[in-house]
Amino acid sequence: MTLPPDYHMHTPLCRHATGAPSDYAAQALRLGLTEIGFSDHSPMRSDHFDDWRMRLDQLDDYVEAVCSTQREFPQLTIRLALEMDYLPGHEDWIRELTARYPWDYLIGSVHYVLGDWDVDNPAKQGKWKDMNPTEVWADYFDRLTKAAASGLFDYIGHADLPKKFGVFPTPECEVHYERFLRVAGEKQVPIELNTAGLRKDCHEIYPSQTFVRMAFKYGVPITFGSDAHAPEEVGFAFDQAIQAAREAGYTRYSRFAQRNRTEDSLLRP
Binding site for Zn ion (CB under 5 A): 227
Q: Output the smallest distance, CB 38 to Zn ion, in A.
A: 12
Q: Output the smallest distance, CB 118 to Zn ion, in A.
A: 10
Contact between 192 and 153 under an 8 Å Cβ cutoff? The reply is no
- Site for Fe ion (CB under 5 A): how many residues? 3
Pairing of strands 35-41, 77-85: parallel
Contact between 247 and 260 under an 8 Å Cβ cutoff? The reply is no
Closer to Zn ion by CB, 117 or 170: give it: 117
Q: What is the DSSP string of 175-212?
A: HHHHHHHHHHHHHT--EEEEGGGGGSTT-S-BS-HHHH
Closer to Zn ion by CB, 227 or 233: give it: 227
Contact between 258 and 102 under an 8 Å Cβ cutoff? The reply is yes
Q: What distance in Å separates the CA atoms of residue 102 and residue 115, rounded to the nearest whole number?
A: 31
Of 152, 109, 104, the closest CA to residue 259 belongs to 104
Q: Output the smallest distance, CB 39 to Zn ion, in A.
A: 8
| Interaction between residue 139 and Fe ion (CB under 5 A) | no
Q: Output the smallest distance, CB 171 to Zn ion, in A.
A: 26
Closer to Zn ion by CB, 107 or 183: give it: 107
Q: Output the smallest distance, CB 10 to Zn ion, in A.
A: 5
Region of residue 172 (left: phi > 0; alpha: psi -120 to 50; beta: else): alpha
Closer to Fe ion by CB, 6 or 227: give it: 227
| Region near Fe ion per CB under 5 A, out of 73-81, 107-115, 135-143, 147-155 | 107-115
| Interaction between residue 40 and Fe ion (CB under 5 A) | no
Q: Give the per-residue contact string, 191-230, with Fe ion (x = CB under 5 A; - = no).
A: ------------------------------------x---
| Interaction between residue 109 and Fe ion (CB under 5 A) | yes
Residue 129 CB neighbour total at 10 angstroms:
6
Of 98, 89, 94, 104, the closest CA to residue 38 belongs to 104
Closer to Zn ion by CB, 85 or 247: give it: 85
Closer to Fe ion by CB, 81 or 138: give it: 81
139 interface partner picked from Fe ion, Zn ion, none, CB below 5 to 8 A per type = none
Q: Where are the alpha helices (DSSP H) in the chain?
A: 21-31, 59-72, 91-100, 133-149, 174-187, 209-217, 238-248
Q: Output the smallest distance, CB 175 to Zn ion, in A.
A: 26
Q: Say whether 256 sits in a helix, a strand or coil.
A: strand
Q: What distance in Å separates the CA atoms of residue 220 and residue 215, rounded to the nearest whole number?
A: 5
Contacts of Fe ion in 44-83 (CB under 5 A)? 83
Closer to Zn ion by CB, 154 or 227: give it: 227
**Residues making contact with Fe ion (CB under 5 A):** 83, 109, 227
